[in-house]
Amino acid sequence: MKNIYFLWKDAPFYAVYIIRNLIDNTKYKIKLITKIDKKNNSSYKKILKKNIINTGSKTYSSWDKLKLGTPDVLFVSGWRYKEFKSLIDYSKSKKIKIVSMIDNNEKKNFRQLIGKYIFNTFFKNNFDAYWVPGESSKKLLQSYGIKKGIFKSLYSINRKLFYSKKNINKRSNNFIFVGQMINRKNINLLVTVFKKIFIKYKHLKLFIITNNYKENIIPTNFKKNFIIKKNLSPEAINSNFNLNKYFIFLSKEDHWPLSVMESLSAGNVLILSKKIGNYLELKKTNNIFIKDFKPKNIYKKIIEVLNLDKKKLLKISKKNLILSKTFGLNSNLLAFKDIIKHIDER
């Protein structure tokens, strides 16, 4: 039986469900090795039981120091995390098969041009396969000269947590944003546009679900319209998706925002920036996509959405629900099996 380890610094909560699903549906001995805080460690252990190891502030230079057998396959997030560098170097010296998990999407900018040189000089020969979320990340690796061994579906939706509970036309005519209140997510632009919306539509609301509330961003005279919800569980986020019709995400850039796919799975109508990594998977849908970040143009798009009739809303919602099925945990499981098969055949 193969030992398969995931070396995942700051492993996000959704990674726990992905790995739990792999453990439950394969015959491999799978473990998550990560560096997380005590609170997350307790939550993660409830799901993964003995299959998680939190390294904390310690660094390790070999697997035996972690009291683990040598892995047959090592999945690694990132290329240069100093906390795990010794373990990765040790694994390379033992000719362990290594899979790079990368979610950077293709931007065609100067930084990625330099990144291509760095990758081909220092990292290209480190990996036996690559696991990416979607088409944009695949295109990035292909631009770096990688021709084989790229697999998609790194991230997936837990459809037991995120699903539609209510017909779109029975939900409130309000908007929801899920993410950090930071500049990269265009939070100030979002607030600016909705201040104008709320002047015309005084009854509307924008629900902001976040884990880093910034009080100074929300104008005091619109506090009845901007509804802040902090640190919600996945179940509570899904309930909010199902209470409201529209999901909006205007990020300046994002590798693969999972909240977008979770709202897709809940059947919301989406208003999205084209700068997100999952745009290529969604661009053929009837959702609304923002080409530029001019407040006037975004305002017009939101008004356009508010004027959609019930038939159109239901059509978009149903198509989103159908599409979301292709991003479930099973797609991740099938990709994982394909990666192991690819490595076995090398």
Residues 336 and 326: their CA atoms lie apart, in Å, by 15
Which helix or strand (DSSP H or E) is residue 337 part of? helix 329-345
Say if CB 213 and CB 230 are below 8 A apart. Answer: yes
Do 335 and 318 fall within a single domain? no
Do 105 and 35 fall within a single domain? yes
pLDDT of residue 57: 86
What would the mean pLDDT of 297-301 be, rounded to a whole number?
Answer: 97
pLDDT of residue 243: 98
Q: Is the model's pLDDT at 1 over the cut of 70? A: no
> Does 161 reside within a domain?
no
Q: Structural domain tally of the chain?
A: 2
pLDDT of residue 218: 94
> Does 260 reside within a domain?
yes
Do 195 and 141 fall within a single domain? no
Do 177 and 297 fall within a single domain? yes
Model confidence over 128-179: pLDDT tens digits? 999 999 999 999 999 999 989 999 999 999 999 999 999 999 999 999 999 9
Tokens encoding 322: 């159908």
Do 311 and 206 fall within a single domain? yes
- Mean pLDDT, all residues of the chain: 94
Do 196 and 314 fall within a single domain? yes
Do 49 and 13 fall within a single domain? yes
Model confidence over 197-243: pLDDT tens digits? 999 999 999 999 999 998 899 999 999 999 999 999 999 999 999 99
pLDDT of residue 38: 87
> Does 163 reside within a domain?
no
Do 224 and 125 fall within a single domain? no
Against a cut of 0.85, is the pTM above it?
Answer: yes
Residues 301 and 307: their CA atoms lie apart, in Å, by 10
Cβ-count burial of 95 within 10 angstroms (0-12 exposed, 13-18 middle, 19+ buried)?
exposed
CATH number for the domain including 82?
A: 3.40.50.2000
Model confidence over 84-100: pLDDT tens digits? 989 999 999 999 999 99
Express as a percent the part of the chain with pLDDT over 90: 85
DSSP one-letter code for 328: B
Domain span at 25: 3-156+328-345
> Does 202 reside within a domain?
yes
pLDDT of residue 52: 97
> Does 278 reside within a domain?
yes
Do 315 and 333 fall within a single domain? no
> Does 113 reside within a domain?
yes
Do 149 and 198 fall within a single domain? no
Neighbouring residues of 186: CB distance < 8 A, sequence distance ≥ 6: 250, 251, 252, 273, 293
Do 81 and 122 fall within a single domain? yes
pLDDT of residue 228: 97
Do 220 and 232 fall within a single domain? yes
CA distances from 105 to 6, 132, 133, 183, 289 (A): 21, 9, 9, 19, 18
Residues 21 and 8: their CA atoms lie apart, in Å, by 16
